[in-house]
Structure 1
Amino acid sequence: MTTEDNTLLFSTNASSSDVISFHEATIITIELGLMVFICSGNLLTILTVWLTPSLRTVSNMYVVSLAVADLLTGLNIPLQIGIFIPSVRRAIDASKYLCLCRHVLFFVSIENSILCMTLIALDWWLYIVSPFYYLRIATSSKARLVVVCSWIVSVWAGTMPLYVNKWTVGVDCKLLNVLTKEYQLYLQGGGFVLCSLTIGFCYGHIFVVARKYLKKVNGFQASAVNRKSRSSNDILRSDIKMVKMFILVFGAFFFCWFPTILCLSIGYTYGVSYTILNYVIPVGILNSGLNFFIYVIRNRQFREALEKMVRKWRSVLEPDPVEL
């Protein structure tokens, strides 16, 4: 084979390896859409609290911390997309710390997002179960300390792959290739199970306590006006509302992240296709965008403040009509 033939063969292989496949283009499109969806909602949450002093409560400190973590998750998506662009993928695969930082930044934001959802569940649970004790201990300074501690824990757990990893020269920068089974299954998986159980317990207990309270209140009202049928209907409607809230909050969290955790567990034991992983991981990331609707849009005070802010921006952007 001549030199010209070798040069032609090399250039042909290089050009074919630089072509983005349909699968890669699909994942890129999905994740770019997720980035816009996640960043816009969580940025609105942060701006709404910042511009509305009445929303700067202890409980909303956890919501803002969640919004910051979810916003960082969205901003981290371009680095995740880079692995599907051949020229960027080669650069990431060739650099140990660029490869590891791609995973570390993602884990820090995702882990804090899950921790904040757990803190919100605990905050609501304590408020419902023991309101007087909650009012005594729930101060801004303590909430700031809890938020700071949650970020410290997230940074500690998220940056662990920088020190404990399987990266070697020539290996593809993929989760199963560069991260250890112990880190993914025991630390990440164990943390997911612990947070899931905590969130499930909190909202389940809130449902039980609130249901008992509503029965008592409606019972008193019914005996006073002798309208037991209406009281029963009120209890039923309240029960349905609480069940919907529980399913929405816990269901969105669990069913977004469970497929990812399950696939990673199977991947480290029996093996799993990266094509499947590439589609289930965005489902988990989707939870960072849904949190805006779960914790903000469903809150009446947030909705009113958001509508007021949008009206104010609209009045600034739209010029006044010229009088003729």
Structure 2
Amino acid sequence: MAINPTVISVLLCMFYSCLSIVISCGNILVITSIFYFKQLHTPTNYLILSLAVADLFVGILICPFSMSLTEASCWYDERILCKIRGSFDLALSNSSILHLCCISVDRYYAVCQPLRYSAKINNNAVAIMILVSWSLSVLIGICVMIIGFQNDKCTESCSFDVQIAPTFGCILSFYFPAGVMLCIYLKILQVAQSQAHIIQKTTCPGTKTAITLSKTETKATKTLAIVMGVFLICWTPFFLCLTFQPVTKYAIPASAIETLSWLGRSNSMINPFVYAWFYSWFRTAFRILISGKLYKGYCRNSKLN
């Protein structure tokens, strides 16, 4: 039995609306928590905050654009909206992976070179990382919008196929930074395991603080590695699909590419739940914000654990 196109449009609009609300609310919690609570004012958390801003833009920009493009009929400036949505999509996905690269560098110094961490990773260094990540991402988005999409005329869907050579674009914006992150985290894992063996052999009572700090850094590294893993799981199918488009002579349906792109966008919804699940201080901060205790007293210096 054929489904009424109007019903499909309504269901898609409901889906985009729900996803937009969940993405926006989750990342607003992360951003507000890091801004407000002094305990969360650390270089690593500033990178997480900037990553949450990129995820928030997915909720407040990409979802509404997609909602406006659910109609199959052709209407004025639809192609321009397709360009804008596509450029935002690629800019924000590149921003996410560049932020994750910066976070992996932060974790490398925290675990592998702890004595140099405070000198190498400070607020100024993090500000430069954030500025470079956003600048490159915006530049990529502008280039994509200028070049335009493959479909020059109105079609039944807002195609995601870009005229840039897909393989080169995917290698530059996804595979290369993903490979760099994996190498860094493998090195971190190797060093963390070595440190764990050393700590187990240490019996001096005075090493309690060092052991606690090592466990904290290891937990933070594992959590952020999970964030990176979730990102790769969500976005790899989409970029693989784009990579093999030329090989298949663009035989992969636009609907399949669009579905995989939404799997990638779902990553913006998952990250806040990962932080809440693994970080006790984020859970406490979220609880204070959701319960409204923030408005009942001065909680800025509250101990979040």
TM-score range normalised by the length of the shorter chain:
0.7 to 0.9
Paired position in structure 2 for 1:146: 129
Name the stretch that deviates more: 144-153 or 185-194.
185-194
Identity %: 22
1:193 alignment partner, one of 175, 187, 191? 175
CA distance in 2 between partners of 1:314 and 1:61 (Å): 21
Paired position in structure 2 for 1:322: none
Which runs of structure 2 are paired with 1:55-134 in the superposition (5 Å)? 55-76=40-61, 77-86=63-72, 90-93=75-78, 95=79, 97-134=80-117
Equivalent residue letter for 2:273: F
Query: Contact 1:181–1:268 (CA<8 Å) still a contact in 2?
Result: no
Paired position in structure 1 for 2:302: none
Where structure 1 has 5 or more consecutive residues not aligned to the other structure, the ranges are 1-17, 226-237, 317-324
Aligned partner of residue 202 in structure 2, secondary structure? helix
CA distance in 2 between partners of 1:80 and 1:213 (Å): 48
Structure 1 runs of 4+ with >6 Å offset: 240-244
Say if 1:251 and 1:32 are closer, same or farther in 2 by CA, change over 3 A. Answer: same
CA distance in 2 between partners of 1:59 and 1:242 (Å): 9
Aligned partner of residue 175 in structure 1, secondary structure? coil
Equivalent residue letter for 1:248: I
Name the stretch that deviates more: 255-264 or 162-171.
162-171
Which runs of structure 2 are paired with 1:1-40 in the superposition (5 Å)? 19-20=5-6, 22=8, 24-40=9-25
Equivalent residue letter for 1:145: I
Shift of 1:78: 1.1
Where structure 2 has 5 or more consecutive residues not aligned to the other structure, the ranges are 206-215, 297-305
Larger of the two Rg values belongs to structure: 1
CA distance in 1 between partners of 2:90 and 2:34 (Å): 26
CA-based RMSD: 2.9
Q: Deviations over 1:189-245 (max 9, x none)?
A: 432111211221222222211111111111233xx79xxxxxxxxxxxx9x989975
TM-score normalised to structure 1 length: 0.76
Query: Contact 2:185–2:225 (CA<8 Å) still a contact in 1?
Result: no
Shift of 1:269: 2.8
Say if 1:287 and 1:169 are closer, same or farther in 2 by CA, change over 3 A. Answer: closer
Aligned partner of residue 269 in structure 1, secondary structure? coil
Paired position in structure 1 for 2:209: none
Paired position in structure 2 for 1:288: 268
Paired position in structure 2 for 1:155: 138
Q: Deviations over 1:283-322 (max 9, x none)?
A: 1001111111234542222222232333444875xxxxxx
Shift of 1:130: 0.5
Q: Deviations over 1:135-175 (max 9, x none)?
A: 11222122112211111111011111222234565243411
CA distance in 1 between partners of 2:288 and 2:255 (Å): 44
Paired position in structure 2 for 1:253: 231
Which runs of structure 2 are paired with 1:173-252 in the superposition (5 Å)? 173-176=158-161, 179-182=162-165, 184-221=166-203, 245=223, 248-252=226-230
Name the stretch that deviates more: 255-264 or 245-254.
245-254
Query: Contact 1:38–1:71 (CA<8 Å) still a contact in 2?
Result: yes
Query: Contact 1:38–1:288 (CA<8 Å) still a contact in 2?
Result: yes
Name the stretch that deviates more: 34-43 or 272-281.
272-281
CA distance in 2 between partners of 1:206 and 1:279 (Å): 34
TM-score normalised to structure 2 length: 0.80
CA distance in 2 between partners of 1:31 and 1:129 (Å): 42
Say if 1:31 and 1:98 are closer, same or farther in 2 by CA, change over 3 A. Answer: closer
Aligned partner of residue 270 in structure 2, secondary structure? helix
Aligned partner of residue 159 in structure 1, secondary structure? helix
1:309 alignment partner, one of 289, 292, 303? 289
Shift of 1:54: 2.2
1:48 alignment partner, one of 25, 33, 47? 33
Q: Deviations over 1:87-137 (max 9, x none)?
A: 5x52343x5x33311211222222111211221111111211111111112
Shift of 1:180: 0.9
CA distance in 2 between partners of 1:264 and 1:247 (Å): 25
